[in-house]
Amino acid sequence: MRQPDWDPAKARANRTEAYDRMRQECPVAFSSQLGWSVFRYADVVAVSADTAAFSNVRVNDDATGSIKTRSIPLEMDPPEHTPYRKLLMPLFAPDKMRQFEPRLRALAERDIGRLIDAGEANVVSRFADPFPVRVICAFIGWHEDEWQLIKSMSADVRKAMLERSEADLCAAHKRWSDYIAPTLSARRKMPADDATSWLLAQHLDGRPLSELELTNILRLMLVAGHGTTTASFGLLLFYLATHPDDQQSLRDKPEQIAPAIEEILRWSGPLSTMQRTVTKDTGLHGRQLKAGDRLTLMYSAANRDPQQFPDADKCLLGRRPNRHLIFGSGVHTCLGASLARLELRVALEELLKRTRRFSLTGTPPATNPDIWPTADLLPFTLHFER
């Protein structure tokens, strides 16, 4: 039995201090919860780039290599990953984002308007939770009023993955397949101007995508497209509510909202970690990793690495360059980053434009951000002044 080098659960109490120590003293560390962890920026980038030694294929996945319920393209390695990624990239290209922006802005105007009208509101349950699900549903052309069902099915997937229960994951995926199938069939009969119909029209190696491939792509989009964005909204709103000068400066200079979002997220870390499986015995900073070991990319630690970011612990809204790893690195770099950036920017623009000030009321929540894979948002209430 390998001795642990650190305890991630204990590190949560003061993760900045713990990550500083690990980056310096033990950059490749073992724990029973996370397997191997890498903390330095350069190591997270190097491991993400080495897809031959560090695989994204789910550990318990069926050994036959069939697609089964693997999330496409996330749970694939090159060369299998490459054609799917190429096929999906145009969906998130700048022209598609420009096309979608008016629809997204209408959603933001409505939801932000309701939030401000309330005067005072729990922004997690009233906005950060539902809005990103509504956005991804609008993007792929599904009913946005089913956000609670989508959230609950996504929570089942997350729980099964956290508990590493293949049986629960299969059950959760079955629920998703049953949910997705009728919409696919409806769009086959009557195409619409949405991402689902776009997917149905695509070809891979001269053939249309199969039902299973379409399901595994759409499920990933629906699951990946909101938990991280919900966490990001919570962290952004909390930061701006508790830093009134920064809030006002963005209200005065809306063109600075987009880079400010990048820096607040680098500093606060909506997605702390992702995992890989070691495929062959590999040495890293003198540690011997064995085939089959798990490895965790510690994005939040890498994003505060002083070797990469001067004054790494300071949130400097004008930081340039800012090559953070919020959206990952390498071939799996977030496919939906353009959509995430668009929705975060548009919603903040609407909120700042329509308010004179917003501030935190009541007791600030105790933060508990280091839960894999996304920050668990604790509720907090904001007071809005027009």
Q: Contact residues for ligand HEM (CB under 6 A)?
A: 56, 73-74, 85, 220-221, 224-225, 228-229, 232, 270-271, 274, 326-328, 332, 334-336, 339-340
Least Cβ distance, residue 328 to ligand HEM (angstroms): 3
Residue nearer to ligand HEM on the CB measure, 80 or 166? 80
Residue nearer to ligand HEM on the CB measure, 56 or 381? 56
Strand 294-298 versus strand 207-208 pairing type: unpaired
Residue nearer to ligand HEM on the CB measure, 229 or 279? 229
Residue nearer to ligand HEM on the CB measure, 35 or 336? 336
Q: What is the identity of the amino acid at 59?
A: V
Sheet harboring 120-122: ordered strands across?
120-122, 381-385, 357-361
Distance (Å) of CA 149 to CA 99, 133, 155, 335:
27, 10, 10, 24
Within 10 angstroms of residue 155's Cβ, the number of other Cβ atoms is 13
Least Cβ distance, residue 339 to ligand HEM (angstroms): 5
Least Cβ distance, residue 74 to ligand HEM (angstroms): 4
Least Cβ distance, residue 107 to ligand HEM (angstroms): 14
Least Cβ distance, residue 268 to ligand HEM (angstroms): 11
Report yes or no: 210 and 72 within 8 Å, Cβ to Cβ. Answer: no
Peptide bond into 79 cis (omega under 30): yes
Separate counts of helices (H) and strands (E) for the chain: 16, 12
Burial bucket for residue 130 (CB in 10 Å: 0-12, 13-18, 19+): buried
Residue nearer to ligand HEM on the CB measure, 61 or 384? 61
Residue nearer to ligand HEM on the CB measure, 271 or 312? 271
CB closest to ligand HEM, residue no: 336
Q: How far apart are CA 155 and CA 162, in angstroms?
A: 10
Least Cβ distance, residue 285 to ligand HEM (angstroms): 21
